Structure 1
Amino acid sequence: MCFYCFHYRGAAADPSSVKIVAVDLQAMAPLPGVVQLQGDITKTSTAEAIIGHFQGDTAQLVVCDGAPDVTGLHDLDEYVQAQLLLAALNITTHVLTKGGIFVAKIFRGKDVTLLYSQLKIFFRHVTVTKPRSSRNSSIEAFVVCEDYSPPSGYTPTMVNPLLDLSYEGSWQELEGVNRVIVPFLACGDLFAYDSDMTYPLQVMYNDIFNYFF
């Protein structure tokens, strides 16, 4: 899985002002002008290393070209690809500057609308495009997310209860807007959006209630 971060000072057209950091789990062949990190994008230490190479600054552009080894089972392949993308989005919220751009490969299947909804939480403009070089028979496409604008109060986190196998405990530790956003990003969990949880119930002492099951 290739994960690239781009940062520049001054005019973007000046090659000397551009810094590129590439991240992959596997060792990569050297590329001129590219800092290469062999690391895991689900780890906070990787985000810290990227920002360290940018001397404390954040990236203006993040590109993720990762994809799983396909099985031919489209539902499974789409799900695994979506999880890779959400892992990339998690680390992107740590390293991308406000107003920045995120470009990533997706598998555009029948359930892709959930993915669009998750991305639109963080970006004002989300566009899906399919390059001419991509086969028409392939469900591969690319999502271009522009103008990174995280919700007010959101704190970037690497929490992914589905991978950490700690679904219940992780939710209870979240506060504020993270309590709503993180579960929705992890698995489309809308529990925190339940309208019955947005206001206190007016319970009167000694009132009689009927319960229906």
Structure 2
Amino acid sequence: MARKDHYYNKSKQQGYRSRAAYKLKQLDESAHLLHEGETVVDLGAAPGGWLQVAAEEVGDTGTVIGVDLQRIKDIDGVETIRGDMTEEETQEEVIDVAGSADVVLSDMAPNMTGEYSLDHARSVYLARQAFETALELLDSGGDFVVKVFQGPDLDDLREDMEPEFEYVRTMSPDASRDESSEVYLVARKRLTAPVRPGDTLEVTIEGVGSEGDGVAKVEEYTLFVPNTEEGETVEIRVDDVKPKFGFAQRLDRD
């Protein structure tokens, strides 16, 4: 029998269902994704290594939901859905069951053909399916992790994700096989704000914040605008957007 690699042996020793568990552990160590009490949805979850790690991190007060076309053997504290994430029916079921999520994970991969360009294109397709589902599920400030094979369409996928999050990183955990072309796009802090950097609009300053900046509201979203006073109506340009608040500059004082 061919010698099994380090992470395969380690997963057997520590009771994880797959070596992939260590990929999520390493991603979490770097990006601080999983926290106690959170709701985590794992797409393409079989055989369940990522579900085990997620359940450990969110604890008894958290919720973990796994989805896969293959049957996932029971894991304590984990709910599973059997279905194909490329089908709208499964996507809708996941959204109905979860309601919302703090973290959406996807380790989905296509059936490999050995033709690099085709495998890459299929992996990007699956990643986009996961991305669309994540946009429906994630609360403001939520995180998304998705696997994709390296290739020409990777940059386009990342560019599409970037406006929806505070930032996106491309990561390669040590537990990935040396010969693998997989990388993970780690998107932090989902932005649900009604504005984006560069937007210009007219606002009324409703108050003054603790730092002395004017406070404006756009659909209940808070923008801090320096050099303004309560009661002023000013034209602004949005400079920076966070999950719960943003910063802008008044245009008549550039």
Q: What TM-score range do you get, normalising by the shorter chain?
A: 0.5 to 0.7
- Tell me: CA distance 1:150–1:85, structure 2 relative to 1, closer, same or farther (3 Å): farther
2:184 is aligned with 1:139: no
Unaligned runs of 5+ in 2: 1-42, 196-254
Match of 1:41 in 2: 85
Task: Give me the whole-angstrom Cα distance separating, in 1, the residues matched to 2:58 and 2:106.
Answer: 23
TM-score, normalised to structure 1, is 0.60
Unaligned runs of 5+ in 1: 7-11, 154-213
TM-score, normalised to structure 2, is 0.51
Task: Give me the whole-angstrom Cα distance separating, in 2, the residues matched to 1:14 and 1:106.
Answer: 25
Match of 2:64 in 1: 20
Count of aligned pairs between the two proteins? 146
Match of 2:113 in 1: 71
Query: After the TM superposition, which residues 55-66 of structure 1 pair with which residues of structure 2 at under 5 Å, given as runs?
Result: 57-66=99-108
Match of 2:227 in 1: none
* Larger proportion of strand: 2
2:78 is aligned with 1:30: no
2:125 alignment partner, one of 68, 83, 94: 83
Q: Which runs of 4+ in 1 moved over 6 A?
A: none
2:136 is aligned with 1:94: yes
Amino acid at match of 1:18: G
The 3-state SS of whatever aligns with 2:175 is coil
1:115 alignment partner, one of 157, 164, 178: 157
Which gives a bigger RCO, structure 1 or 2 (Cα 8 Å, sep 6+)?
1
Amino acid at match of 1:107: F
Amino acid at match of 2:116: H
- Tell me: CA distance 1:135–1:124, structure 2 relative to 1, closer, same or farther (3 Å): same
- Higher alpha-carbon Rg: 2
- Tell me: CA distance 1:31–1:13, structure 2 relative to 1, closer, same or farther (3 Å): closer
Q: Deviations over 1:154-201 (max 9, x none)?
A: xxxxxxxxxxxxxxxxxxxxxxxxxxxxxxxxxxxxxxxxxxxxxxxx
Task: Give me the whole-angstrom Cα distance separating, in 2, the residues matched to 1:38 and 1:69.
Answer: 18
> Alignment identity in percent?
28
The 3-state SS of whatever aligns with 2:73 is coil
State the Cα distance separating 1:122 from its structure 2 match: 1.4
State the Cα distance separating 1:43 from its structure 2 match: 4.7
* CA RMSD across the alignment: 2.8
Q: Deviations over 1:117-137 (max 9, x none)?
A: 111131221101111111233
